[in-house]
A and B are shown apart, each in its own frame.
Chain A
Amino acid sequence: MAKLTKEEIKHIAKLANLKVDEEHSVLFAEQLSAVLDYVEHLKKAPTGLTQPLYNVNGKNNVFREDEVTDCLTQEECLGNAPSTFKGYFKVKSIF
């Protein structure tokens, strides 16, 4: 019945950069499987050649002039950062 196993939940969590413990993998597997089971009925929807709808007001490309305008100061941009270094965001080393 259950569509998603707890192993699959762990894999999806990894893809989404989330940490999910053992207990939650079991719980989420059950809860998300129920949702996926429910949405199965969409297969019956008579879509035929219907085009998918991605945005409701038909705006696909919206252009503006590329002009320099006022923007936030460096201090404001860094104001909420948990860690900074000489006016930069400090991040964990990647390599």
Chain B
Amino acid sequence: MDDKLNQLTLKQALEGLKEKKFSAAELHRSFLNRINLVDRKIFSFTEVVDQQKPKTKERPGILEGIFFAVKEVLSCKNIKTTASSKILKNYIPVYDATVVKKLSDLGAEIIGKTNCDAFAFGASTENSGFGPTKNPWDTSKVPGGSSGGSAAAVAADECIFSLGTDTGGSIRQPASFCGVTGLKPTFGACSRFGLLAMASSFDCPGPLGKTVEDCEIVFEIIKGKDENDATSVVYPKSWKKKQNLKIGLPREFFDDGVDSEVKNLVMQAAGTLEKEGHQLFNVSLPNTPFAVSVYYILVPSEISSNMARYDGIRFGGGRELLEDEVKRRIMLGTYTLSAGYFDQYYLKAASVRSLVKNDYLKTFENVDVILGPVSPTPPFGIGELIGNPLKMYLADVLTVGANLAGIPGLALPCGFTRNGLPVGMQVLGPHFSEDTLFDLGKQYQQITDWHKQKPKL
């Protein structure tokens, strides 16, 4: 019964399948068993696909036999995709999101759809219309969000890897809270086609996995220009590799607002990297204190426009089914874009967005990457912030900067609090520097084993 196949990394699963140590069917059964055993405790999945797809191709793709989970905001053909909102509770897409299709075309199969905050609006997965996902390390805590189900499913070994989306930290923060690895790609590197839109100038689909290496494999497959997404780009050829990096530690990421245990663990990780030959520098991103405000003006503004399509005529139910947080954001955006307030809110925030982006670009003239905590706190309690939207928004303070600037960020585990909760760090780099982030992340995971720890469920 306990074959542990469900614990394999993508790399290990691919090797095992190739060497015929086990079959795709055995792997599939192992995941279904695991889901049956633990998902009632954590609720990662809103939908589980229990039948394997019949094989239609003669030549198997390179991901044949691999099972992945997909966040509820990414369309999957013929599989219910609800955005974790009651308004779409019966919606069945007739096409795949491009990032899903790229994986399916190579033979990978969807094991299920993962819970998230409704329409990905949130930082705890508590805004889901179907109930909160729980943190596998402590089920009284949130798994983070909005890709909480995607992170919890990987942490609980219910899938090999998963897809999430990151608009303001929604891949990195749940990865950090659940002790897994996650990549927010450069904006435009991965197509948004088939992603149920939140904020179109911010949304980035990306992988969550058990290792940096796994996230790299998935990213290499899902990236690239897509005719169906005008903001997607041709990914430039890889960078010149550097052995020893200059790592910037931004003062604003280690200030008084950040929990001291979190700070210490990230500083220890920085020390570990320094011993490997990298150099540490103190840097400053002075407009960081404005980032959350800019984000919570621009994103609701884009939301209010994107969500106008939910009129219940072509698909979905009526607008009365929208969750409270969805209503709040639509209304906030309607207000900030309305006549008389546009200049004061939207235009001002868009100008400060320039300042935030320039902070990052200027810093990257002096250092190769920036290192800091993902979240200012360890995972918080279920119910702790949900009644206070502003406090919940402030949980995004260290992640939204990368989205405002459109740069990539890699979140990876760097330790545990005294109470046994995972803490993650993020490495941010210039546009299209994913290679550098992966190299540094892989090096860190070769000399540490935080990413190998498993929650007891």
Contact = CB atoms under 8 A, between A and B. Distances in A.
Contacts of B328: 28, 31-32
Contact of B354 (A17, A50, A62): A50
B147 to A, nearest CB: 21
Contacts of A68: none
Given A32-B331, A32-B335, A35-B389, A56 B405 contact: yes
B446 interface: no
B351 interface: yes
Interface string A50-67: 111111110100101000
B187 A12 contact: no
Given A39-B296, A81-B313, A82-B316, 14 more contacts: A17-B308, A17-B311, A18-B327, A35-B332, A38-B292, A39-B293, A41-B293, A42-B294, A52-B347, A54-B350, A72-B94, A79-B94, A81-B314, A81-B315
The 8 closest A-B pairs by CB, nearest first: A56-B406, A52-B350, A80-B315, A62-B230, A39-B293, A47-B351, A76-B94, A53-B354
Interface in B352-377: 352-355, 357
A59 B232 CA distance: 9
Nearest to B316: A80
Contact of B293 (A31, A42, A64): A42
Contacts of A43: 348
A27 B357 CA distance: 34
Interface stretch (B14-22, B107-115, B157-165, B317-325): B317-325
Q: How large is the interface on B (under 10, 10 to 19, 20 to 34, 35 or more residues)?
A: 35 or more
A18 B331 contact: yes
A28 B233 CA distance: 39
B450 interface: no
Nearest to B229: A62
A20 interface: yes
Contacts of B290: 41-42, 45
Nearest to B304: A16
A3 to B, nearest CB: 10
Interface string B281-322: 000000101101110110000001000100111111101101
A53 B332 contact: no
A79 B94 CA distance: 8
Contacts of A76: 94
A57 B357 CA distance: 11
Interface in B190-238: 201, 227, 230-231, 233
B259 to A, nearest CB: 21
Contact of B201 (A45, A55, A91): A55
A38 B12 CA distance: 48
B379 interface: no
A58 to B, nearest CB: 10
B334 interface: yes
Interface in A66-87: 72, 76-77, 79-82
Interface residues of A, number: 45
Contacts of B406: 56-57
A54 B201 contact: yes
Contacts of B90: 80
B92 interface: yes
19 contacts: A17-B308, A17-B311, A20-B327, A28-B327, A35-B390, A39-B345, A41-B293, A42-B297, A45-B290, A47-B348, A50-B351, A50-B352, A55-B201, A56-B201, A57-B231, A57-B406, A80-B91, A80-B94, A82-B313
B233 A59 contact: yes
B390 A12 contact: no
Contact of B330 (A18, A31, A50, A64): A18
B393 interface: yes
B431 interface: yes
Contacts of B52: none
A34 B231 contact: no
A16 B331 contact: yes
A13 B331 contact: yes
B453 interface: no
Contacts of A12: 331, 334-335, 338
Contact of B233 (A4, A57, A91): A57
A31 B332 CA distance: 10
A54 B411 CA distance: 26
B27 interface: no
A32 B332 contact: yes
A31 B431 CA distance: 35
Nearest to A48: B351
A73 B342 CA distance: 41
Contacts of A64: 227
B350 A59 contact: no
A41 B289 CA distance: 9
A19 B327 CA distance: 9
B408 to A, nearest CB: 12
Interface string B370-395: 00000000000000000011100100
Nearest to B332: A32
A17 B307 CA distance: 11
